[in-house]
Structure 1
Amino acid sequence: MELDGREFRNVLGTFATGICVITAMSENDEPFGMTVNSFASVSLDPALVLWSLQNDSDCWPAFELAEKYAVNVLAADQQDLSALYAQKGKHTLQPDHYTVGEYGLPIIAGAVSSFECSVWARYPGGDHTILIGEVKRIDSDSSKQPLVFNAGQYRELR
């Protein structure tokens, strides 16, 4: 039986996810970021997280070179940032959207949480590359609600 790609994507969409903007510095020291919903924990000791990057993404070359990155879990009121940094060619961070973290990484202002990571490993994963990062620093604001995505649209926790 051959799997229908559209149906597979729709069924995957039934799993509610948070929305993150993964940020890094380009080799020219320009801050950039892209929206993803493929973030997960891997290990507590050492502290490892993962996300996946589509191999034909316009950000793939920059993340292939980056040795560190930050995972920024967006807050419920940051839907505009999610939409902006999900657009092809719209990955240069606007100056008022970030601060610089302890490890020199762009950290999205107002995010629920941020994980500053060094690259632990990269693995092939079909049409994606799986990036595993060792978490070096975390920041979190427990007063904020996360931005949630399910069945093709943004949702709110209640």
Structure 2
Amino acid sequence: MDQREFRNTVGTFATGVTIITAKGEDGKNIGLTANAFSSLSLDPPLILVCIDKKSSSVPAFQKGRPFVVNILSEEQENDCWSFAKGGVDKFVNAQYELSPNGVPILKENLSTIICDVFEVLEGGDHVIVTGFVKEISRNEEKKPLIFYGGNICKLTVPAYSNK
């Protein structure tokens, strides 16, 4: 199968955009943009995120270690692209605070999910990190940043409704 055509085909599935943050083994802040994110289970509360095996961030995701899923709002497009780059200090222009366990939480998030690594599974050229959800928050006034067809998009619908 042609990899480019496969990528283009799955790219027709519109997704939200997340930045996954953690602390590296050396104590430095780690962050990466990911759109391969999903809820997994309500009981127990689990999520999953897929990370490229070539990412230098992979060693930070070991069982029991904390991480944060920052679900981006449309105001965070610059963060999306900054955290997608490798080999740079991704936090230099980012506005963030630290969670109680020292993991960066980006400001202006649509939603924030604080987790501990539950399990790490093999998934082809990615690892599948499952997270046990410890804390959640959301901002119903914001709208999501959307990724579709290799581009960032914004919704033209009202903010989240719990109806």
TM-score scaled by structure 1? Answer: 0.92
List aligned pairs for 1:3-152, cutoff 5 A: 3-64=1-62, 67-90=65-88, 92-94=90-92, 96-152=94-150
Looking at structure 2, the residues matched to 45 and 66 of structure 1 have their Cα atoms a distance apart, in angstroms, of 18
Matched letter for residue 103 of structure 1: N
- What is the CA distance between 1:31 and its match in structure 2? 1.6
Q: TM-score, normalised by structure 2?
A: 0.89
Structure 1 gap segments, 5+ residues each = none
Distance 1:104 1:21 in 2: 16
Q: Percent identity?
A: 38
Number of residue pairs matched by the alignment: 156
Q: Give the letter for the 1:32 counterpart.
A: I
CA RMSD in angstroms comes to: 1.6
| Runs of 4+ off more than 6 Å | none
Distance (Å, rounded) in 1 between the aligned partners of 2:108 and 2:128: 26
CA deviation map 1:71-96 (0-9, x unaligned): 00011011100000100113542375
Q: Report the CA distance shift for 1:65/1:118 in structure 2 as closer, same or farther (over 3 A).
A: closer
In 1, Cα distance between the equivalents of 2:17 and 2:29? Answer: 19
Secondary structure of the corresponding residue to residue 61 of structure 2: helix
In the TM superposition, what is the alpha-carbon distance from 1:102 to its structure 2 partner?
Answer: 3.0
Name structure 2 gaps, 5 residues minimum: 157-163
